[in-house]
Chains A and B, each alone.
Chain A
Amino acid sequence: MSKIPVSDSFYQAVEELSKDLYVKALKDLPPDVRVVLKDTYEKEETETGRQVLATMLDNIDIADSRNRLICQDTGIPIYFVKVGNQLSVDFVRLEEAVVKGCQRATVEHPLRSSVVSPFKRQNNQNSSGYRIPSINYDVVQDNDKVEILMVPKGSGSENMSFLKMLIPAEGVRGVKRFILETIAQNVGANPCPPYVVGIGIGGTADMCMKLAKIAAVTRPIGARNPDPEMAAFEEEMYNAINDLGIGPMGLGGLKTALAVNVEHAYTHITQNPVAINIQCWPARRAKATISFDGKFEVGY
């Protein structure tokens, strides 16, 4: 089968959308996140928890009506790019367009540039630098579109990332204990609860953490792992984490986790890895689907 060539307007659309999606993600919370926060507020019983959740809902309204950012942390910009296998795409041009869009959003809006070099802490003031923005590619079978999912990943949640290379003898029991002990003792109030807990299980060390990231930031609230065994594990961990009582902003209350999402992979016979990545209550994301000719649709 011959591949569909993409036009110049396709790459222009990628650049414009990489810019627009960054700003949209920072201002317009996805509908699933709005719904779960409202529901969490209605069910909260503690006075402090209700006050905190009311402020969160108020904040979403102000961001809508005054066209403001939801949170000041513009994050590390992450782009998940899915390329349909029927398209003939020049990946060098595609990547240049994404990076340029990210930089333009920062300068033109303007946004706080939240990324620096690791040792000298140099800030280029355009949200980019060596290997940043983080761009993740996937190829999708039987597909003729490019999908860009943009996630500004805040540091309050990203700093609460943990990996443990457990051994097979520790089994599922060890996985459960690691998750709950880590949330209770290390994560706690830090990543702005109620948060989404992303859990990676299996794979190599790097893959396990990547799976946790995908679980934390790409999935709409309420979507379950299609594997029934993993879906049951998500449910069990969701109930257990919410029994800890950490509550909104860690000041006590009913809801600590808005969702617990698991992604898994096969692993080595000697390994039993588990990773945690968190997404804060403003679980920001914005998505666009682009055709070969540059036509596009925007969503979450």
Chain B
Amino acid sequence: MAEYTLKTPLSEEDVRKLKVGDKVTLEGVVFGIRDANLIRMFDGKVPSPVDLTGAACIHTAPNVRKVGEGKYEPVCIGTTTSSRMDRFTPGLMGQYGVRAVIGKAGMMEASMEAMKRYGGCYLAIVGGAAAWETERILEIEGVWWEDLMPEAIWKFQTKNFGPLIVAMDSHGGNLYFDVKAEAASMLPEIFRRIGAE
């Protein structure tokens, strides 16, 4: 299992070399996206107000302090459950050129297919560890769609953002599916032991 430090924006080559289990630390910009802004972008068909080519996007809605018109300071930035956003990954990668999704708990078939086809990856961060994550964010550089607050689109400048674990790669690997299959295979034996066959 390899370890990489990658500078954003990411290239297809950056992402194609990653395999499930590798560790990645990002340097540079990470965009914050999630439910409400993705629903507007894809169901509402309102184009993204910001160029996401090569972007690393994290599933988040932060706690912030407003310090001026369109200016915010981080209070607490952490990561939400990714599975709700599964159906948006093909559009993010195919239409907008996003290369990495950072999240927790993984995504499913639609995202796996998009990662294979366009060259993308899923980088697992530790959910709930928002104090740790906030320490790695230098500043909030931009915000779009403030009417969706806190589910605006955010641009974070980061340093030493990781280590993140490559949990889904562009070769069809999905660590969560492996763990889930293993858990399912344990069930018959567990049922036998506790008298629930």
**A residues bordering B, Cβ < 8 Å?**
48, 51-52, 55-56, 58-60, 62-63, 66, 68-74, 109-114, 121, 123, 125, 154-156, 159, 172-173, 176-177, 180-181, 184-185, 188-192, 236, 240, 243-247, 249-252, 280-282
Report 20 cross-chain contacts, Cβ distance below 8 Å, ordered by A residue.
Answer: A51-B163, A55-B129, A59-B129, A59-B132, A72-B78, A113-B150, A156-B80, A177-B191, A180-B191, A188-B183, A189-B106, A192-B128, A243-B186, A245-B183, A245-B186, A249-B104, A250-B105, A250-B106, A251-B165, A252-B182
One of B62, B76, B128, B180 near A281 (C-beta < 8 A): B128
B75 and chain A: residue at smallest CB distance = A110
Q: Assuming the A-B contacts A56-B126, A243-B186, A249-B127, are A72 and B106 also in contact, with contact meaning beta carbons closer than 8 angstroms in the complex?
A: no
Given contacts A112-B64, A123-B150, A180-B190, 19 further A-B contacts (CB under 8 A): A48-B165, A60-B131, A73-B80, A112-B75, A112-B76, A155-B81, A176-B194, A176-B196, A184-B180, A188-B179, A188-B183, A189-B105, A191-B81, A243-B186, A246-B183, A249-B105, A249-B126, A252-B179, A252-B182
Report A-chain residues with C-beta under 8 Å of the C-beta of B180.
184-185, 188-189, 246
A69 and B63 contacting across the interface, CB-CB below 8 Å: yes
B130 and A59 contacting across the interface, CB-CB below 8 Å: yes
Report A-chain residues with C-beta under 8 Å of the C-beta of B62.
72, 112
B156 to chain A, nearest CB (A): 13
B105 and A70 contacting across the interface, CB-CB below 8 Å: no
Which of B77, B81, B134 has the most C-beta atoms of chain A within 10 angstroms of its own C-beta? B81
Report B-chain residues with C-beta under 8 Å of the C-beta of A111.
63, 75
A104 to chain B, nearest CB (A): 16
A240 and B194 contacting across the interface, CB-CB below 8 Å: yes
Q: Assuming the A-B contacts A55-B129, A59-B126, A176-B194, are A123 and B105 also in contact, with contact meaning beta carbons closer than 8 angstroms in the complex?
A: no
Kindly state the separation between the CA atoms of A192 and B74 in the bound complex, as whole angstroms. Answer: 23
Which of B83, B129, B149, B179 has the most C-beta atoms of chain A within 10 angstroms of its own C-beta? B129
A181 and B182 contacting across the interface, CB-CB below 8 Å: no
B73 to chain A, nearest CB (A): 10
B131 and A66 contacting across the interface, CB-CB below 8 Å: yes
Kindly state the separation between the CA atoms of A250 and B106 in the bound complex, as whole angstroms. Answer: 9
B167 and chain A: residue at smallest CB distance = A251
At the interface, is chain B mostly helix, strand, loop or mixed?
mixed
B81 and A156 contacting across the interface, CB-CB below 8 Å: yes
Kindly state the separation between the CA atoms of A70 and B134 in the bound complex, as whole angstroms. Answer: 10
Report B-chain residues with C-beta under 8 Å of the C-beta of A123.
149-150
Q: Assuming the A-B contacts A59-B126, A176-B196, are A181 and B187 also in contact, with contact meaning beta carbons closer than 8 angstroms in the complex?
A: yes
Kindly state the separation between the CA atoms of A99 and B55 in the bound complex, as whole angstroms. Answer: 41
B194 and A236 contacting across the interface, CB-CB below 8 Å: yes
**What is the number of residues of chain B that contact chain A, defined by CB distance less than 8 Å?**
52
In the assembled complex, B86 has its CB within 8 A of some CB on chain A = no
- Which residues, 144 to 196 on B, are CB-close (under 8 Å) to A? 149-150, 163, 165, 167, 175-176, 178-180, 182-184, 186-187, 190-191, 193-196
A66 and chain B: residue at smallest CB distance = B131
B184 and A185 contacting across the interface, CB-CB below 8 Å: yes
Kindly state the separation between the CA atoms of A123 and B60 in the bound complex, as whole angstroms. Answer: 17
Report A-chain residues with C-beta under 8 Å of the C-beta of B149.
123, 125
B130 to chain A, nearest CB (A): 4
Kindly state the separation between the CA atoms of A85 and B61 in the bound complex, as whole angstroms. Answer: 42
Kindly state the separation between the CA atoms of A299 and B79 in the bound complex, as whole angstroms. Answer: 28
- Which residues, 96 to 138 on B, are CB-close (under 8 Å) to A? 104-106, 124, 126-135
In the assembled complex, B65 has its CB within 8 A of some CB on chain A = yes
Report A-chain residues with C-beta under 8 Å of the C-beta of B52.
none
One of A56, A243, A251 near B129 (C-beta < 8 A): A56
In the assembled complex, B85 has its CB within 8 A of some CB on chain A = no
Which of A111, A185, A189, A240 has the most C-beta atoms of chain B within 10 angstroms of its own C-beta? A189
